[in-house]
Amino acid sequence: MKEFFLIIIAYLIGSIPTALLVSRRFFDIDIRDYGSGNMGATNTFRVLGKRYGTMVMFFDIMKGMLAVALYNILPYYLPQAHMFDRTNLMVGLGLAAVVGHVFPVFANFRGGKGVATLFGMMLAIQPVIAGSCVAVFLIVLYLTRYISLSSILAGVALPICVLWIWNDNVTIYRVFAVLVAAMVVLTHQKNISRLLRGDESRVPILKYRDRRKMRK
């Protein structure tokens, strides 16, 4: 029963509509009425710029980390003997936060795609693997300036890291990694279509690098 209440709290944490709050506080708009209509860091970068996009991404990551950390409230999950049960609970809490981000009760169930919150969840559970995925994200972002493509490839990198590079033998991690990759690809179908058409917007970062290239 206590675990159930923690899952609900994790969902509510994930439901905090960071992008909506930032867009209304600083621009008096609903971010979902602009750009892709998505309430996430990618659309915030696209519509409001890198300062506010970074702010939204940071808090969305923190939502995933904070949700996972809720397991500390239950002291009987802390001993090493309960590692398997603790792992299951941590994954459940993180997923609840992701569901909250995608379907936020505080924003009429119209949220984001959950990539940043997923990263925060993985950072709390498996920081080395999460760091590998963020490295993929940053490299692709540097080369292309497409946050959507960076998110997709970072999501695909997750099962590669879990199943082959680090060969994590915890079954729930392996299943979770495959499901996350599938979810990231499915939730980015529109972005994939725009990428294939060449219509996807690039985020306003690394613009000085691009200007130098143009001058050359």
CA nearest neighbour of 11 among 94, 82, 118: 94
pLDDT at 204: 65
Whether 102 and 111 have beta carbons less than 8 Å apart is answered as yes
Q: pTM for the complete prediction?
A: 0.83
Listed in sequence order, the residues at least 6 apart from 48 whose beta carbon sits closer than 8 Å to its beta carbon are: 22, 23, 26, 27, 31
CA nearest neighbour of 93 among 213, 4, 189: 4
CA distance 7 to 195: 36
Name the amino acid, one letter, at 137. Answer: F
Whether 31 and 44 have beta carbons less than 8 Å apart is answered as yes
pLDDT at 81: 59
Q: Which tokens belong to 156? A: 């695909």
Q: Which tokens belong to 133? A: 């995925």
CA distance 99 to 91: 12
Q: How many CB atoms lie within 10 A of CB 199?
A: 9
CA distance 177 to 26: 36
Name the amino acid, one letter, at 176. Answer: F
Q: How far is the first Cα of the chain from the last one, in angstroms, to the nearest whole number?
A: 64
pLDDT per residue over 194-207, tens digit each?
999 988 888 766 55
Mean pLDDT of the chain: 87
The three-class DSSP label of residue 204 is coil
Q: Band of the pLDDT at 84, cuts 50, 70, 90? A: confident
pLDDT at 165: 84
pLDDT per residue over 23-55, tens digit each?
999 999 999 999 888 898 888 988 998 899 999
Q: How many CB atoms lie within 10 A of CB 88?
A: 16
